[in-house]
Amino acid sequence: MTPAQRFAEDYKLTDEQVGILAQQARLAAKASEAVHNSGNQKAADEWQRIADRRIATFEVTAKRLGFDGVDWPGLYPTVTKGSRQFIELPLESTTPHHKGGVSFD
């Protein structure tokens, strides 16, 4: 069982949902990194707007999937659920495998 499959099983998610959550985390991290590597203020401001949107998207998705909170200790988030704090996402082997809409049920 891969870390992503174990995460899905532990938190009663589908592989697709874990893949989407991980992809959103990666996109937010890349945008946040680009803020610091942009080289000028105008580009940094634009990347910050993109990063803010991607972070918000991740946080909404995490809450819809049943996580209680999200923390950003660095570029990548951790999530909380019940008494479990600082749950790291399995980012290394996940990609969204979906066609069309996404179900969060």
pLDDT in tens, 1-22: 888 899 899 999 999 999 999 9
User: Mean pLDDT throughout 30-51?
Assistant: 95
| Pairing assessment for the beta strands 84-88 and 78-81 based on DSSP bridges | antiparallel
- Tell me the percentage of the chain whose pLDDT exceeds 90: 63
pTM of the model: 0.82
Closest C-alpha to 30, from 96, 91, 104, 101: 91
Model confidence at 57: pLDDT above 80: yes
Model confidence at 70: pLDDT above 50: yes
Strand (E) or helix (H) holding 80? strand 78-81
